[in-house]
């Protein structure tokens, strides 16, 4: 992956750099409730012991894990015993009774001679140990034991007193393994990182349209057929028109033994695994395996059901027949035999109703049950599954669509927990109806969204979710009454993997945003402080490096921006990212020749003036070593006779992509990422502009950037006319040319040149004719076409 090289270079930084003053021995994430720093330290040595009271097997297991890790890390031979030895340094596990700590709280007291851990429950001791890991120097952290022992001088714990307990009881992370499959080995690493950050719930998205990933003994076709797709779409969903596929079979699933191993391993980390079996929608993989579960033998498109090869929402869903409910009861019974936790996630989201509307059976069922419409039928479906799961002593979780169907007499079981993803509205509504709620709104918790400039990022779903926005989230707003607020169980990060196909890329999208969410889930609301979090995060980057985590470095990004000057040049200003509040700020270096900045490149100290089209690259550094990711990304700025000049638009742009302060001559080119396009102005009708060059001068060429995004009905123009004038009233045509509005292929900004014999003029008029309707041969023929325009150049 493009970003791996830069990140490895950063991670090679030793802790003792010019940023050393920013690192501190109490860079704990999530932040404890109370921490009182001491002045001495506890140094681990070969004589150190760990003591646990006799007859405490759970504590023994935690202590053994700690001892093994410390021994691997330091090369010592620390042993676990039941009787403390007052003559040696000791890490003591001390069970107590204290309602103030709760089931997951703990206390730590570190002096020169003793480390005392106190908790009511083994969970509390487990989280105390996670804090101990973070109190060691970052270079010492290597839970997996992948490197040589560190010097004993690094195996120190700072003296302090800590009292801690979580804000929320549900602290979750989600992983979609249906779109892309991840090995058991990676799942264990995922759980390790969750535990270090005190998450306690792993939401495992095991089935979807693109793959069924869990072995069900009674229905072997689910993995024989449903776990395999014949190929996978290449790039983003709308990258190309027509879409491009890789032609390579893709598959994978977890055997029941794999599932048991993951559940067992998670239990050692005090993490509950919540399996998700999607229904009634997102069911194509199951329908491809057992077509009789659909409302017709074939799909709505007239073809046999098949495992989806691209992303999105598909109209073929489970049919609410007794055969389907029998199948789902069998599947969920096997699932519940593998997962001992109380929660079973049943999906319930994004269920199109077209198949049900066309089904005579479904229409009869709606009348028979008095369900009013297909939304009532969805409520009926969910209620059937709710009763099934509840009868087996478990509780369902469903996405917030399970609230739909209020026009019927059916009501959700009081046991049903709502996972709010479509913003916060539905979660708050569910809490007011006395349903337990897990908050996971997309604008704060969907980590498949971009965390920095899309031009610097691997392919993502779209949308922006920077680190600071994650940290800003409060799952329990003040508008909730105390009684309703008690139903907010917690918060969860979601990682959907349509565009995430490797462990490195999954890590990149998760971290450090998951660290921010960990603090939201654990630390008191009144202690939230992004500046303080930023300082601790600098140390945490080194900690994650020791754990071989491919962390995103957008936190350290610097970004250039440009504005035209009065004399037609560009003034380029480079600013540190708003994400990072660390002081002092990193050093910014730049190049103007397209090369990647190095530690020897010029240091940015004042705005740059450029008088010709230039590629500007910027990167941040510490001790001449790169910190940011922008070293591999270029910002292209265009300078021409049009730069900074005013113009009049002849046709009104759309409200969705308006013109902002003469953005078509500001020297800055447009960009795109995911579904997003920035820096262009769009038009439903034709595009027309009259540029005022300020004075008469020789012109012989115009170049216009047009967005080609035919998957979204944005086509190139069919014709372009150029005319010139000295007075702005009488124009003389200099060029009329046909252009190719039928061009599809990969989306992008196409800069079309229009050359003509040199003329003298002050005003240049450009008219681009819209093709009006998307031409045949493209994805959406006959749909209303738009034009979208980027930078205009005049030469």
pLDDT, residue 405, reads 77
Asked if residue 102 belongs to a domain, the reply is yes
What would the mean pLDDT of 589-617 be, rounded to a whole number? Answer: 93
Indicate whether 80 and 184 sit together in one domain: no
Indicate whether 595 and 729 sit together in one domain: no
Asked if residue 540 belongs to a domain, the reply is no
Asked if residue 246 belongs to a domain, the reply is yes
pLDDT, residue 457, reads 83
pLDDT, residue 727, reads 96
Helix (H, G, I), strand (E, B) or coil at 158: strand
Indicate whether 771 and 673 sit together in one domain: yes
Calpha distance 71→625 (Å, rounded): 32
Asked if residue 546 belongs to a domain, the reply is no
pLDDT, residue 8, reads 25
- Both structure tokens of 565: 């000057």
Distance of CA 175 to the CA centre of its chain: 11
pLDDT, residue 581, reads 73
Indicate whether 174 and 298 sit together in one domain: yes
Residues written for the chain:
795
Indicate whether 370 and 230 sit together in one domain: yes
Global confidence as pTM: 0.93
CB 339 within 8 A of CB 394: no
pLDDT, residue 20, reads 39
Which strand (E) or helix (H) includes residue 287?
helix 284-289
Annotated catalytic residue, options 261, 329, 350, 429: 350
How many domains is the chain partitioned into structurally?
4
Percent of the chain scored above 70 by pLDDT? 93
Calpha distance 788→436 (Å, rounded): 46
Per-residue pLDDT for 17 more than 50? no
Q: Which of 144, 164, 184 is the last residue of a domain?
A: 164
What would the mean pLDDT of 628-643 be, rounded to a whole number? Answer: 83
pLDDT, residue 13, reads 33
Asked if residue 538 belongs to a domain, the reply is no
Cα→Cα distances 36→89, 111, 161, 639, 657, Å = 21, 12, 5, 57, 52
- pLDDT digit string, tens, across residues 224-242: 999 999 999 999 999 999 9
Asked if residue 19 belongs to a domain, the reply is no
Which tops the pLDDT comparison, 365 or 670? 365
pLDDT, residue 361, reads 98
Indicate whether 628 and 697 sit together in one domain: no
pLDDT, residue 582, reads 66
Indicate whether 667 and 607 sit together in one domain: no
> What CATH number is attached to the domain comprising 348?
3.20.20.80
Q: Which of 164, 194, 228 is the last residue of a domain?
A: 164
What backbone torsions phi and psi does residue 145 show, to the nearest 5 degrees? 65, 40
Per-residue pLDDT for 137 more than 50? yes
Per-residue pLDDT for 3 more than 60? no
Per-residue pLDDT for 10 more than 50? no
> What CATH number is attached to the domain comprising 748?
2.60.120.1190
> What CATH number is attached to the domain comprising 625?
2.60.40
Indicate whether 402 and 297 sit together in one domain: yes
- What pLDDT band is residue 5 in, cutting at 50, 70 and 90? very low
Asked if residue 63 belongs to a domain, the reply is yes
- pLDDT digit string, tens, across residues 703-731: 999 999 999 999 999 999 999 999 999 99
Indicate whether 238 and 102 sit together in one domain: no
Sort strands 201-205 and 34-43 into parallel, antiparallel or unpaired. Answer: unpaired
pLDDT, residue 15, reads 32
3-state secondary structure 715-775: CCCCEEEEEEECCCCCCEEEEEEECCCCCCEECEEEEEEEEEEEEEEEEEEEEEECCCECC
CB 598 within 8 A of CB 586: no
- Per-chain mean pLDDT for the chain: 92
Which parts of 473-594 are beta strand (E)?
488-493, 558-564, 570-576, 587-591
**Lowest-confidence segment of 1-15, 122-136, 344-358, 499-513 by average pLDDT:** 1-15
Please, which residues have CB within 8 angstroms of residue 361's CB and are 6 or more apart in sequence?
Answer: 295, 319, 321
Which strand (E) or helix (H) includes residue 787?
strand 787-794
Place of tokens 């660290």: 515
Is residue 721 flagged as an active site residue? no
- What pLDDT band is residue 47 in, cutting at 50, 70 and 90? confident
Indicate whether 160 and 196 sit together in one domain: no
CB 693 within 8 A of CB 645: yes
Q: Which of 138, 164, 190 is the last residue of a domain?
A: 164
- ∠ CA 259-264-270, rounded to 5°: 125
Asked if residue 76 belongs to a domain, the reply is yes
Calpha distance 320→323 (Å, rounded): 8
Q: For residue 451, give the nearest of 628, 198, 711, 588 by alpha carbon.
A: 628
Indicate whether 345 and 437 sit together in one domain: yes
Please, which residues have CB within 8 angstroms of residue 87's CB and are 6 or more apart in sequence?
Answer: none
pLDDT, residue 594, reads 86
- ∠ CA 510-348-344, rounded to 5°: 70
Indicate whether 477 and 362 sit together in one domain: yes
pLDDT, residue 85, reads 82
Domain span holding position 136: 34-164
pLDDT, residue 14, reads 33
């Amino acid at each position: 992956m493009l970003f791996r090289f830069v990140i490895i270079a950063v991670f090679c930084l030793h802790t003792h750099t010019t940023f050393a003053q920013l690192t501190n021995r109490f860079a704990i994430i999530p932040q404890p409730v109370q921490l009182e720093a001491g002045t001495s330290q506890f140094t681990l040595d070969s004589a150190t012991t760990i003591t646990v009271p006799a007859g405490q097997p759970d504590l023994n297991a935690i202590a053994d894990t700690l001892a093994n890790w410390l021994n691997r890390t330091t090369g010592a031979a620390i042993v676990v015993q039941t009787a403390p030895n007052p003559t040696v340094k000791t890490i003591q596990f001390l069970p107590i009774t204290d309602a103030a700590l709760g089931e997951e709280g703990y206390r730590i007291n570190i002096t020169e001679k003793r480390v005392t851990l106190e908790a009511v429950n083994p969970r509390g001791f487990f989280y105390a140990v996670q804090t101990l890991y973070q109190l060691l120097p970052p270079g010492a952290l290597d839970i997996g034991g992948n490197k040589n022992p560190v010097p004993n001088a690094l195996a120190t714990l700072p003296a302090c007193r800590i009292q801690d307990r979580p804000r929320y009881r549900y602290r979750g992370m989600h992983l979609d393994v249906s779109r892309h499959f991840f090995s058991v080995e990676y799942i264990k690493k995922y759980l390790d990182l969750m535990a270090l950050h005190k998450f306690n719930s792993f939401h495992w998205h095991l089935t979807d349209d693109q793959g069924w990933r869990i072995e069900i003994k009674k229905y072997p076709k689910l993995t024989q057929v449903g776990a395999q797709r014949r190929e996978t779409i290449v790039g983003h969903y709308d990258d190309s028109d027509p879409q491009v596929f890789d032609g390579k079979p893709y598959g994978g699933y977890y055997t029941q033994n794999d599932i048991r191993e993951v559940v067992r391993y998670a239990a050692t980390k005090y993490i509950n695994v919540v399996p998700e079996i999607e229904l009634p929608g997102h069911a194509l993989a199951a329908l491809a395996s057992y077509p009789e579960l659909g409302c017709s033998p074939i799909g709505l498109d007239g073809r046999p059901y098949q495992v989806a090869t691209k992303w999105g929402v598909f109209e073929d869903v489970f049919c609410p027949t007794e055969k389907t409910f029998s199948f789902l009861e069998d599947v969920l019974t096997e699932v519940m035999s593998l997962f001992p936790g109380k929660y079973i996630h049943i999906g319930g989201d994004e269920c199109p109703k077209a198949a049900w509307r066309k089904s005579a059976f479904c229409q009869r069922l709606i009348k028979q049950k008095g369900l009013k419409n297909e939304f009532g039928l969805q409520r009926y479906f969910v209620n059937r599954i709710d009763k099934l799961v509840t009868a087996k002593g478990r509780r369902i979780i469903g996405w917030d669509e399970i609230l739909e169907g209020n026009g019927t007499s059916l009501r959700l079981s009081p046991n049903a927990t709502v996972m709010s993803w479509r913003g916060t509205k539905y979660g708050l509504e569910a809490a007011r109806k006395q349903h337990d709620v897990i908050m996971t709104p997309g604008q704060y918790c969907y980590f498949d969204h971009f965390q920095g400039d899309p031009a610097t990022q691997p392919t993502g779903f779209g949308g922006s979710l920077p680190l600071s926005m994650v940290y800003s989230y409060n799952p329990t707003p003040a508008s909730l009454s105390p009684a309703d607020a008690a139903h907010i169980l917690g918060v969860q990060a979601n990682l959907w993997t349509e565009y995430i196909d490797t462990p490195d890329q999954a890590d990149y999208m998760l971290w450090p945003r998951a660290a921010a969410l960990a603090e939201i889930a654990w630390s008191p609301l009144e202690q939230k402080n992004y500046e303080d979090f930023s300082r601790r995060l600098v140390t945490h980057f080194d900690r994650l490096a020791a754990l071989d985590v491919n962390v995103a470095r957008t936190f350290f990004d610097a970004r250039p921006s440009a504005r035209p000057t009065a004399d037609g040049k560009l003034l380029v200003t480079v600013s540190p990212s708003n994400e990072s509040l660390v002081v002092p700020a990193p050093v910014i270096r730049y190049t103007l020749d397209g090369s990647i900045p190095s530690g020897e490149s010029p240091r940015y100290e004042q705005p740059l003036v450029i008088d010709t089209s230039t590629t500007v690259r910027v990167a941040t550094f510490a001790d001449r070593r790169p910190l940011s990711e922008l070293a591999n990304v270029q910002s292209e700025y265009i300078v021409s006779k049009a730069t900074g000049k005013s113009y009049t638009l002849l046709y009104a742009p759309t409200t969705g992509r308006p013109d902002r302060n003469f953005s078509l001559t500001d020297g800055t080119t447009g960009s795109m990422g995911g579904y997003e396009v920035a820096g262009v102005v769009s038009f439903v009708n034709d595009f027309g502009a009259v540029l005022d060059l300020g004075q008469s001068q020789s012109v012989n060429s115009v170049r216009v950037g047009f967005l080609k995004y035919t998957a979204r009905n944005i086509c190139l123009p069919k014709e372009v006319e150029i005319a010139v004038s000295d007075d702005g009233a009488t124009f003389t045509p200099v060029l009329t040319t046909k252009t190719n509005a039928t061009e599809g292929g990969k989306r992008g900004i196409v800069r079309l040149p229009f050359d003509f014999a040199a003329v003298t003029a002050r005003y240049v008029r450009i008219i681009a004719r819209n093709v009006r309707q998307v031409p045949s041969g493209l994805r959406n023929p006959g749909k209303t076409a738009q034009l979208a325009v980027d930078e205009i150049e005049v030469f």
